[in-house]
Structure 1
Amino acid sequence: MKNTFLNFNTLAATILAIGLMTACSSDDTALTPDPDTESDPEPEQESRWLTVAAAKMGEEPGDGNGGTLIYAVNTVDAKDPTIVIEPFDHGFIAPSNRTARLQSSEDGNTIFNISYAGDTGGNYTKYNVEGGQNFTPTGSEVSIAPYVGSAPRWIKLFDGDQTGAAVYVSNEHEIDDNGTPDDATDDTYIRTDANIGVVTLDLVNSSIKEFQEHSIALSAEEEADGYYISRIDMPVLNAA
């Protein structure tokens, strides 16, 4: 019987040769990354202005009767926990006797304001946002008070910052005086007529586009129970 022995030097040389062949083969073959497994780096988001509104108190905490201050901070600083802003101390005073009715443009670069209540109530103004307490007036000041009063509610449509709509409700009570107009003690309440006014604003040119009024009524059963519409806080416009 013939036995074949492989000594250590021969075995080491064989392993080394195989290793060199493998290394050469690896160098000759270029590795192509799998697009399905490679993750693209997240694109950096462009910073924008975020405007913070601070309602000041009048005589009582939380009454909002002291006016409104606004302060703009960019998104980078807004995410930084070390950044402190103080809109009450360093904010821009938005014209309004009470809490200003504010809307922002879609890109955050413009603030639209309708002052609320008082002698300036119903005044529409627009400002370019420049950071911090820096807000520069732009466009004309327009009063919508003759149409919707000095304390209107309003919204900005999502049409590329083109249009705003403000609303109000006026009421007239229908009373049966029972033939005694000078004596209110025998009067009988019948119903209340609610008249809604809507004014649309051209936000680009700072002007009034259109004004319409509509009388709206509830069901006879609801009116018989004394219900009527006296206020609209947040108008919502649909495709109809």
Structure 2
Amino acid sequence: MNLKSFLNIACISALTLATFSCSEDDSPSSGPSEPSNYRPYHLVIGSSPTGESETYTQGVTVEELNDPNKTFTFNGYGQEIPSTRTARLYTSDDGETVYNLNYGGGDIAKYDYISGQNYSLLLTTDIQAVMGTAYPRWTKIDDNYAMLHNVTTENIYEDPTDETSPYIKTTATVTLARVDLGTMNVLENASFEFPYNEDESTEGIYTFRIDAPVITDGKLYYGVAKRFYDALTGEVGDMVYDNVETLVVDYPSLENETTITSTLAQGSTNGYRTPVAHKDENGDTFQLITSGDVSIMKISNGAYDSAYGKFDIMSLLGHNAEANTGWFYVGNGIGYVPVLNTDLGDSASSNWDVVRIDVYNKTATTMNVPLDLWLRQYQWASVIDGKLYMALASLGGEGKVYIFDPSTTSADGYTTGATLQTGTTDASYIGLF
């Protein structure tokens, strides 16, 4: 049974202004009796760990999140956010607006938050013509703009009309577009060939994905993932990284594309659906390596910082691990990373931990979260009053709002708030936005 049939939610998004209300106001998640002192936040759940996934959201207050007597459920409650596959969500800084990329549907949309499960669809924009695909990715840059990005590849042969002729290389074409979040219109857009490395290119190595950019000193820094094309078999083979790489373009013009690389670490830097690189209070960027071992690299003054080297997180954990989604930064060098224990299973298994890291002092602590976590599709956590709030629940089970305190290095450095229910065996919380 999928979440939609279980919840009996039949809200259908319109392409014109509309207000959605999917159940009666006597839901257990109806509004608080007293006004909140904070912006609204949004609990989001996905229906399935594989394939197409329905996505639902509901608004919450900080007071409710902290209340251990409160229970949030999506049983008969919640606004569906249209998604051909799992929705890619962001919110405005004041929490009053929700933005969504319908991955696979080829459109972006914005919703006005009203209360509880009630959201009003304001605008939608079809972005397939600009991006050339219904499957781009996107990242909110600030409260005014977001970036759409996509990579397409083509194998080049000596005889362009004969794929049995000698293979030359695989080209990667990058398409970027900047979105005005006020109007949801596309502003600047650009398309260019990824600045390939000739040595890698002749070996069949090429960029196939970029994602999770950060902006620093008027430039966008994009994480990069690569693949290996085996010309002997005509198939994609096992990619073995010997470096890390980041695509850099001017912002907002999207010109002057170049890359920075380092051989101090090896792996991809693009992530999955979670932020991967964060700029700290000093203007430096700390970037998670999202394949291979778990590690952090530092980018300073437009280049990888060789003096910082590599923060080898995995060596501190006592087991083999990957952090193939991303991480969350709280401040003052402290962040929290969803980490997969690869000794116990692959990314589809419920063998994930939350690890507190200090990127300045290069320390890591696995938090004592007593849940069987599956965090492959986890997208967002929120910093509130200097603490990190995460919606964590076992796949198809119950959980809590976990409130992590960055001021302590203890594995028990958190409190819990409201109870979270998933409702079906294949549902999981994907974030608190």
TM-score, with length taken from structure 1: 0.70
- The size of the alignment, in residue pairs, is 182
Deviation (angstroms), 1:194: 0.8
Residues 105-163 of structure 1 deviation map (CA, whole Å, 9 limit, x = unaligned): 1111110011011xxx121111111232111112x3111111222111111112xx211
TM superposition outliers: structure 1 runs of 4+ over 6 Å: none
CA contact (8 A) 1:50 1:74 kept: yes
CA contact (8 A) 2:108 2:126 kept: yes
User: Residue in 2 aligned with 1:133?
Assistant: 117
| Aligned with residue 65 of structure 2, among 78, 85, 93 | 78
| Aligned with residue 48 of structure 1, among 39, 52, 58 | 39
Is 1:230 the counterpart of 2:208? The answer is yes
User: Residue in 2 aligned with 1:172?
Assistant: 154
Cα separation, 1, equivalents of 2:75 and 2:170: 42
User: Residue in 1 aligned with 2:255?
Assistant: none
Kindly report the root-mean-square deviation, in angstroms, between the aligned alpha carbons of the 2 structures: 1.9
Q: Secondary structure at the match of 2:209?
A: coil
User: Residue in 1 aligned with 2:100?
Assistant: 113
More strand by share: 2
Deviation (angstroms), 1:88: 5.7
Cα separation, 2, equivalents of 1:88 and 1:216: 46
Cα separation, 1, equivalents of 2:126 and 2:90: 17
More helix by share: 1
Larger Rg: 1
User: Residue in 1 aligned with 2:25?
Assistant: none
Q: Which stretches in structure 1 are left out of the alignment for 5+ residues?
A: 1-44
Cα separation, 1, equivalents of 2:86 and 2:158: 39
User: Residue in 2 aligned with 1:102?
Assistant: 89
Q: Which stretches in structure 2 are left out of the alignment for 5+ residues?
A: 1-35, 220-433
The structure, 1 or 2, with the larger RCO (C-alpha pairs under 8 Å, 6+ apart) is: 2
Cα separation, 2, equivalents of 1:189 and 1:106: 49
Deviation (angstroms), 1:224: 1.8
Cα separation, 1, equivalents of 2:197 and 2:184: 39
Q: Secondary structure at the match of 1:108?
A: coil
CA contact (8 A) 1:68 1:100 kept: yes
CA contact (8 A) 2:47 2:54 kept: yes
TM-score, with length taken from structure 2: 0.40
CA contact (8 A) 1:217 1:228 kept: no
| Aligned with residue 155 of structure 1, among 136, 139, 157 | 139
